[in-house]
Amino acid sequence: MLVISYIREHREEVIERLAIKNFTNVALIDEILKLDDERRAIKKQCDETLAGLNNNARVIGDLYKQGKAAEANELKAKNNEMKDLAKTLNDRLEELQQVIQTKLVEIPNTPRIDVPKGTSAADNVNVHQEGEMPQLYEGAKPHWELLSQYNLADFDLGNKVTGAGFPFYKGKGAKLQRALINFFLDEASAAGYNETQPPVVVNEASAYATGQLPDKEAQMYAVPLDGFYLIPTAEVPLTNMFRDTIVKEEQLPIKTVGYSNCFRREAGSYGKNVRGLNRLHQFDKVEIVEIANPVGSYDRLEAMKNHVAGLLRKLELPFRILHLCGGDMSFTSATTYDFEVWSAAQQLWLEVSSVSNFETFQANRLKLRFKDKNGNIQLVHTLNGSALALPRIVAALLEDHQTPEGILIPKALQKYTGFDIIS
């Protein structure tokens, strides 16, 4: 959620930056500003009325002490009238605040000024690419065939027990999953992230604070009896840890890593995008979250990118980094880089990580702030990234490292798997 005072004071700049995201509803912005003007005027009136009431209450008390009951009663009657006015004003104030809030959350985050213009994934800018794209031998297979050939995962069994998109991992497939999780967590710890194991269900307030609610409700599985939601990413609990808190400047940056199952309904997905491990309803992910000082937060973003790139390098997977254009980045992000690995048999780039700086957009909703050296309280910047999402990594590992003899496990992972080939 944007900071309304910032919009008020930088209207032109906000409009210009939102245009990068192809958001051109200037009327909405002006409507919010107009409502805010009214809000402030009503607020003033309301406060003055309340001040009068408070003052009278004090006078009434004094009058009683002096034994002047008649005068006190007179003033009481007057106060009762003023209370009606205060109530009316306060109701209007609350109504305005609510309306402003619901309209404000419809405005996306302002992209950083250097975000590429564009309308779709085709306009994303490839800023980095490395690793050799393997030339597969005759008879090489897509990962879903490899999964069943080596008995690594069972989709039919998942269908029976739960439904589509909930596979069982088995044997070396299950061990590979576990190895990757441990590998990612260890790498993150070594990079200074505090390991955390978060709850995988969260309450409504948390889902709201990180922006899953109100408009992405259909993407989440819900537990209506208890008012809970299954998390679509560990970002939700890992960021909500810091909801409604004020940290000290010297504590920044606060770096957290957590592994979790992630649950996504993925309503509307179909076809080759959901084939095999490409898109699941339940998957595993290690997420890194950083609470940063606004000064230097883009250096922190670079550090996150380097961390993710290092993981892919150690897994010996060819990858590229895309600077997402305005039209393809998320509602809440100010800058996003996507990491994609090359899926050699599918001949597809698969997104395995999305690293973003949200600047103050999330922090404003979270009420996550820090006290600077002068004692001023400011919103922090929040950043997060996947490091990494498992299924597509598994897909790429299987496809890119397949040989006629079996699937070769990258060196860095072998101490975690305990085997160097799946055959």
Partner RNA sequence: GGAGAUAUGGCUGAGUGGUCGAUAGCGGCGGUCUUGAAAACCGUUAAGCCGAAAGGCUUCGGGGGUUCGAAUCCCUCUGUCUCCGCCA
Name the residues that contact RNA, by CB under 7 A: 5, 40, 43-44, 46-48, 50-51, 53-58, 60-61, 64, 76, 79-80, 83, 246, 369, 371, 377
- Nearest to RNA of 83, 128 (CB atom): 83
Tell which residue, 285, 327, 123, 126, has the closest CA to residue 198: 285
Cα four-point dihedral sign 153, 159, 162, 163: positive
C-alpha radius of gyration, the chain, whole number: 27
Contacts with 98 (C-beta within 8 Å, 6 or more apart), sequence order: none
The least CB distance from residue 377 to RNA, in Å, is: 4
- For tokens 């402030």, what's the residue? 40
Do 291 and 368 meet the contact criterion of CB atoms below 8 Å apart? yes
The least CB distance from residue 64 to RNA, in Å, is: 5
- Nearest to RNA of 48, 215 (CB atom): 48
- Nearest to RNA of 149, 203 (CB atom): 203
- Nearest to RNA of 91, 156 (CB atom): 91
Q: Going by DSSP bridges, is the β-strand pair 194-196/254-263 parallel, antiparallel, or unpaired?
A: parallel
The least CB distance from residue 63 to RNA, in Å, is: 9
- Nearest to RNA of 27, 225 (CB atom): 225
The least CB distance from residue 44 to RNA, in Å, is: 4
Give the C-alpha separation, 384 to 363, whole Å.
13
Do 100 and 32 meet the contact criterion of CB atoms below 8 Å apart? yes
- Nearest to RNA of 313, 371 (CB atom): 371
Q: Which stretches of 315-389 are DSSP H helices?
A: 361-366
The least CB distance from residue 196 to RNA, in Å, is: 18
Contacts with 142 (C-beta within 8 Å, 6 or more apart), sequence order: 275, 276, 345, 346, 399
The least CB distance from residue 217 to RNA, in Å, is: 22
